[in-house]
Amino acid sequence: MASLVDLSASWAPGCHLGGDNGCGFPAPGTEIFEFGKIAEYTIFGITFTIDKPVILVLLCSALIIVFFTVAFAKPRMVPGRVQSMGELCYVFIRDQISRETIGKAGDKYIAFLFSLFFFVFLINFMGIFPGAQFAPTALFVYPVALAVMVWLTYMFIGLKKQGPIKFFTNMMFPPGVPKPVLVILAPIEFISNVIIRPFTLAIRLMANMFAGHLLLTVFIVAALYLASPSVIGVLGTAASGVMVVIMTGFEFLIEGLQAYIFTLLTASYIAGSLSNEH
Amino acid sequence: MTSLIAATEGVEEFNVLAVPLGEFIIGTVAFLIVFGVLGKLLLPKIRTALAEREQLIESGLRAAEDAKEESARMAEANQDQLAEAREEAATIRAAAQAERGEIIEKARSEAVAAAAAVTASAQAQIEQEKNKAGADLQRNVGAMATDLAGRIVGEVLTDDARAQAVVDRFIGELESAAESTGTA
């Protein structure tokens, strides 16, 4: 696995402010999102690259399963500490996301929303987890995989609950809109609901995690680069160090919030597919 | 690298927006495994556990309410019994008081009657004694008077019939004299 923060691409040891080797601030670029291949398998012509993000995703999946197995496998009337925590998670998804957006009809989809929330949250959390220091959701492929899943889910529910014709007419022709407006509104509604939604869902998550990782790396590299025997250097390093701590806390907030938003939007899309009025 | 969206600058160039099919499948499968295990195995368990607990708490609350009602009802019954007992005690007391009065009254009337009887018998005895004394006196006074008169008159008044008549006349005179002085 790569080192804590793989800075080898951005920052060469010995490169400091005012140093005699004359290097400027090595601003980190997209290379900090690239990880070395650990292994590569080709099955049926599809290349499976095993790198740090893949391992993190698999570890997170395993962790979720292990934690909730410990919490829920043998539920007791008087819950222990782990079960209480698990129940808190369950009740949070049920009351704050599912019932809040879908209502009682959403109880069927709690398992999906629950898995989605904790999958996204734990993978996001890897962004500040010591040793991992990278959220695989900052790579577009993982949010896309999840968004495709969400898209399939709410399209399937809509087609099944409302029927193929009603689903699209209800979506494209909202009641109470004047006929001339519908000419513009109908294609917009169709495009926004069927095409744009999965993209915004994936991009929102990816961009937030991407920005967070970049920001943290910028401040860490700055702290290292500014570490030099000068007033500006000392102050700059101290300020950057403080910023790293603050941004790490901020990142934690963003990671939770993005997982919440991702799940909440999924719930609202499912709610739209379930009900006729739009 | 197999990509859904081809990397913009050559195949080898790294691109964060690339969607390599392999990673896409890994991400999807990882999520599906998590969803499958949670949705099919774990969450139903906790759902039933939560529902059971809710039911247990509800039934517990209901039982507590029932117990409260029961205890209130019992307290009321106790109050009723207490009031009843108090009432009974009061009637018993009243009855006892009435009985006491009756007993006293009876004893008093019995005592009065006994006293009256004693008085009556005493009076009767006195009357009897008086009559007897009167009779004795009458007889003795008669005899003495006769004797005395005989001696004075010299006439032997032995003839009983005559003597008795004289004595009766004498006593009658005495009585009338006494009566006239008593009334005067």
**What residue ranges do the domains of chain A occupy?**
30-274
Please state which of the ranges B12-16, B39-43, B57-61, B75-79 shows the lowest mean pLDDT: B12-16
The answer to whether B50 faces chain A, any CB pair under 8 Å, is yes
From chain B, the residues in CB contact with A146 under 8 A are: 27, 31
Q: What SS3 state is found at B3? A: strand
Q: Which of B2, B14, B20 sits opposite A34 (nearest CB)?
A: B14
Q: How many other C-beta atoms can be found within 10 angstroms of the C-beta atom of residue B174?
A: 12
Q: What residue has token string 């925590």?
A: A85
The answer to whether B141 faces chain A, any CB pair under 8 Å, is no
Identify the residue among B31, B41, B52 best suited for mutation to test binding to A, counting A beta carbons within 10 A and taking the highest. B31
Q: Which of B15, B17, B26 sits opposite A57 (nearest CB)?
A: B26
- CA-nearest of A84, A83, A105, A79 to A94 is A105
Q: B96 is written with which tokens?
A: 């006892």
- Looking from the CA of B14 toward its CB, the CA atoms found within 13 Å total 12
In chain A, the residue whose alpha carbon lies closest to the alpha carbon of B49 is A75
Identify the residue among B5, B19, B57 best suited for mutation to test binding to A, counting A beta carbons within 10 A and taking the highest. B19
Q: What residue has token string 């910028």?
A: A218
Which residue ranges in chain A fall short of pLDDT 50?
1-5, 278
Beta bridge partners, A41, equal A48
C-alpha distance from A252 to closest chain B C-alpha (Å): 22
Q: A220 is written with which tokens?
A: 């860490």
Q: ∠A133-A139-A140 over CA atoms, to 5°?
A: 155
pLDDT of residue A260: 92
The stretch B35-54 carries a mean pLDDT of 83
Is A87:A257 a contact under the CB 8 Å cutoff?
no
The answer to whether B3 faces chain A, any CB pair under 8 Å, is no
From chain A, the residues in CB contact with B28 under 8 A are: 145, 148-149
The answer to whether B118 faces chain A, any CB pair under 8 Å, is no
- Looking from the CA of A185 toward its CB, the CA atoms found within 13 Å total 14
Q: Which of A31, A53, A145 sits opposite B24 (nearest CB)?
A: A145
Q: What residue has token string 């004795």?
A: B136
Q: Give dist(CA A240, CA A220) in Å, integer.
A: 7
| Contact residues for A21 (Cβ-Cβ < 8 A; gap 6+) | A14, A15
Q: Give dist(CA A257, CA A115) in Å, integer.
A: 16
Identity (one letter) of the amino acid at A51? D
In chain B, the residue whose alpha carbon lies closest to the alpha carbon of A50 is B23
| Contact residues for B23 (Cβ-Cβ < 8 A; gap 6+) | A48, A49, A53, A54, A139, A141, A142, A145
Alpha carbon dihedral A156, A158, A163, A169, in 10-degree steps, equals: -130
Chain A / chain B CB contacts < 8 angstroms: 131
The ipTM estimated for the assembled molecules is: 0.83
| Contact residues for A49 (Cβ-Cβ < 8 A; gap 6+) | A37, A39, A40, B1, B20, B22, B23
Tell me if B43 and A111 make a contact (CB, 8 A cut-off): yes
pLDDT in tens, B49-63: 888 888 889 999 999
pLDDT greater than 90 at residue B91: yes
The answer to whether B17 faces chain A, any CB pair under 8 Å, is yes
Tell me if B34 and A65 make a contact (CB, 8 A cut-off): yes
pLDDT of residue A154: 87
In chain A, the residue whose alpha carbon lies closest to the alpha carbon of B12 is A34
The answer to whether B29 faces chain A, any CB pair under 8 Å, is no
C-alpha distance from B73 to closest chain A C-alpha (Å): 33
pLDDT in tens, B111-162: 999 999 999 999 999 999 989 988 888 888 878 877 777 777 665 556 777 7
From chain B, the residues in CB contact with A110 under 8 A are: 43, 47
Q: Supply the angle between the helices A110-125 and B21-36 in degrees, to the nearest 10.
A: 130
pLDDT of residue B16: 74
Q: Give dist(CA A74, CA A71) in Å, integer.
A: 8
Mean pLDDT of chain B: 82
Tell me if B27 and A112 make a contact (CB, 8 A cut-off): no
Q: A64 is written with which tokens?
A: 């979720």
pLDDT greater than 90 at residue B66: yes
pLDDT of residue B157: 58
Tell me if A54 and B31 make a contact (CB, 8 A cut-off): no
The answer to whether B31 faces chain A, any CB pair under 8 Å, is yes
B13 — pLDDT class (breaks 50, 70, 90): low
The answer to whether B60 faces chain A, any CB pair under 8 Å, is no
B11 — pLDDT class (breaks 50, 70, 90): very low
pTM for this entry: 0.68
Q: Give dist(CA A72, CA A134) in Å, integer.
A: 29
Tell me if A112 and B15 make a contact (CB, 8 A cut-off): no
Q: A153 is written with which tokens?
A: 């889910």
In order, the DSSP letters of B87-156 are: HHHHHHHHHHHHHHHHHHHHHHHHHHHHHHHHHHHHHHHHHHHHHHHHHHHHHHHHHHHHHHHHHHH---
Secondary structure, 3-state, chain A: CCCCCCCCCCCCCCCCCCCCCCCCCCCCCHHHHCCCCCEEEEECCEEEEECHHHHHHHHHHHHHHHHHHHHHCCCCCCCCHHHHHHHHHHHHHHHHHHHHHCCHHHHHHHHHHHHHHHHHHHHHHCCCCCCCCCCHHHCCHHHHHHHHHHHHHHHHHHHHHHCHHHHHHHHHCCCCCCHHHHHHHHHHHHHHHHHHHHHHHHHHHHHHHHHHHHHHHHHHHHHHHHCCCCHHHHHHHHHHHHHHHHHHHHHHHHHHHHHHHHHHHHHHHHHHHHCCCC
pLDDT of residue B155: 57
In chain A, the residue whose alpha carbon lies closest to the alpha carbon of B33 is A61
